[in-house]
Chains A and B, each alone.
Chain A
Amino acid sequence: MPIEFEHVSYIYSDGTPFRYVALSDVNLNIEEGKMTAVIGRTGSGKSTLVQHLNALLLPSEGKVKVLDRVIEAGSKPKQLKSLRGQVGLVFQFPEYQLFEETVLKDVAFGPKNFGVSEADAAEKARKALKLVGLDESYEQRSPLELSGGQKRRVAIAGILAMDPSVIVLDEPTAGLDPQGTVDMMKLFRELNKKHGKTILIVTHDMEQVFTFCDNVIVMENGKPRISATVGEFFKDSSLCREMDILPPALIRMKDALREKGFRFDGNVNDMNALAGAIVKQVKKHG
């Protein structure tokens, strides 16, 4: 079941002098079982958009369909807890949500809230910690004395331990080291491919979008400006340039080579393919 936005608007502090329209008339279709990137400038409404998926924000107008739920403006939806168990949302800078005495307890907090027994929750927490790359030695440490990047991993593990079928991540890799970032993205991709999770990820990193995602949504001034597959979006750099986005290095490389007379078809999407295509064309001419 895809996730649908129909004419969704969201207004912060409506009825006060601070009224701000953060989303206006959003229509979107997010495919199930795919990994979708949400990109766009600071303040374009990405975080506001994704908080509608687990009903942390309720639309001011329009409706959102998630899994088997329809959340409509003006209605007071009940049983949001069950929705939140199915749609896991990792906040921007989630490291500030840690509070338990030990890392293990903190990660087990989510599953326990959804009625999993103490022992099972601890088991799920252990697995989730392993997934995000933290070994047993972290389990009994206090989450408050970890480094920023380690806290981030614990927070992400806290959501993964709930085993949601839709995972929403708001800039999960901002501030992680390069290796940590790649590991994290690989993990999300694996969860998507192997476990069939629908993943929505907010990011500013075009390399991540290009390398790991299936679809891409570009937000601009509270509206989705483009919703396309990654293949279409990065066919050449023209769309990126139009959006004022620096295209991934590979695309820029292809563009530069094209200017020098090389020709590429749509399948040249990684370093190996590019190297192969160059060698072939050089040989043909040499």
Chain B
Amino acid sequence: MGNITLGRYIPLDSPVHKLDPRAKIMAMLLVLVAIFFPAGWLGYGIIFLAVSFMIILSKLSFNFIWKSMKPMMFMMFFLFIINCLVLKTGTPLLTIGKFAIYSDAVKQTLYIVVRLLLMIMITTCLTATTKPLDLTLGIEDLLSPFGKIGVPSHEIAMLISIALRFIPDLIDETQRIIKAQESRGVDLKEGKIMERIMAVLSLIVPLFVSAFQRAEDLANAMEARGYAPGEPRTRYKVLKMRRSDWLLLLGAALLLAGMIFLAFFA
């Protein structure tokens, strides 16, 4: 559990880390949309190369990206099984007794898997290179135009940033409690059903207690420092779009345009 890499910020010194979070979020959205156009293998190849280029620029190791994908592997396998059972079109590739795996099942699964992998690569590239706080600043700014139609952009951003802020803490806390209860003879891996239920209970109760405690402490600390939602606030960090940010957006827009072209006109 300590090795969860999905969504974690990796402090490195790279050009990608220095980009404006708004540009990165927008670019991510553009490329995510691009992925959904049926642009064929050529299209996915181009996106893959573009994203790989960003990953290399950001100095993240591919090993790290690979680790963020691993939790998805089970899901993908499951998907493959279902597709094999359901899709019976195309040419049969492999026949086992009465049962046959058809080419369309494999093709469909591959399409979905490739899309999923690309999406994970892209989002990891964003979350690993952007501090959670910058990420929320970016989201707040991007949402602010919708304030006129009643979207509470600041509150949403604050919610996201607090949630992000608490994830690593809660993981640490869970591990601490697991260790403390293991010291008292809790066995999470073996035991009869009643013992297992007790074991889980001995983790959940303290975890809830400490999560609520933390939430209350944080709320008090924020209020003590004069925080009131909805009130105007100044900012410590002012975001500024630079040339490299516009370049990133341009690149993402071109990628999207290219996919649309490949999907409908080529």
Q: Name A residues whose Cβ lies closer than 8 Å to a Cβ of B.
A: 12-13, 15-17, 51, 54, 56, 81, 84-85, 88-91, 94, 96-99, 109-110, 113-114, 144, 158-159, 162
Contact = CB atoms under 8 A, between A and B. Distances in A.
Given A17-B64, A99-B202, A88 B183 contact: yes
A91 B180 contact: yes
Interface string B1-43: 0110100001010000000000000000000000000000000
B155 interface: no
Contacts of B185: 81, 84-85, 110, 113-114, 162
Contacts of B61: 17
Contacts of B182: 56, 84
B168 to A, nearest CB: 10
21 contacts: A13-B2, A16-B5, A16-B64, A16-B67, A54-B183, A56-B179, A84-B183, A89-B183, A90-B183, A94-B180, A96-B177, A96-B209, A97-B184, A97-B206, A99-B201, A99-B209, A109-B202, A110-B184, A113-B186, A113-B187, A158-B184
Interface residues of B, number: 27
Given A96-B206, A97-B206, A56 B183 contact: yes
Nearest to B190: A81
Nearest to B183: A89
Nearest to A101: B205
A156 to B, nearest CB: 12
Interface of B: 2-3, 5, 10, 12, 61, 64, 67, 173, 176-177, 179-187, 195, 201-202, 205-206, 209-210
Contacts of B181: 97
B64 A159 contact: no
A84 B186 CA distance: 10
Pick the 6 closest A-B CB pairs, nearest first: A113-B185, A99-B205, A97-B180, A110-B184, A89-B183, A91-B180
Nearest to B178: A56
Most buried by B among A15, A84, A113: A113
Contacts of B187: 81, 113
B183 A144 contact: no
A85 B183 CA distance: 8
A73 to B, nearest CB: 18
A48 to B, nearest CB: 12
Contacts of A159: 183-184
Given A17-B64, A96-B180, 11 more contacts: A15-B3, A16-B3, A56-B182, A84-B182, A84-B183, A91-B176, A91-B180, A99-B201, A99-B206, A113-B185, A113-B186
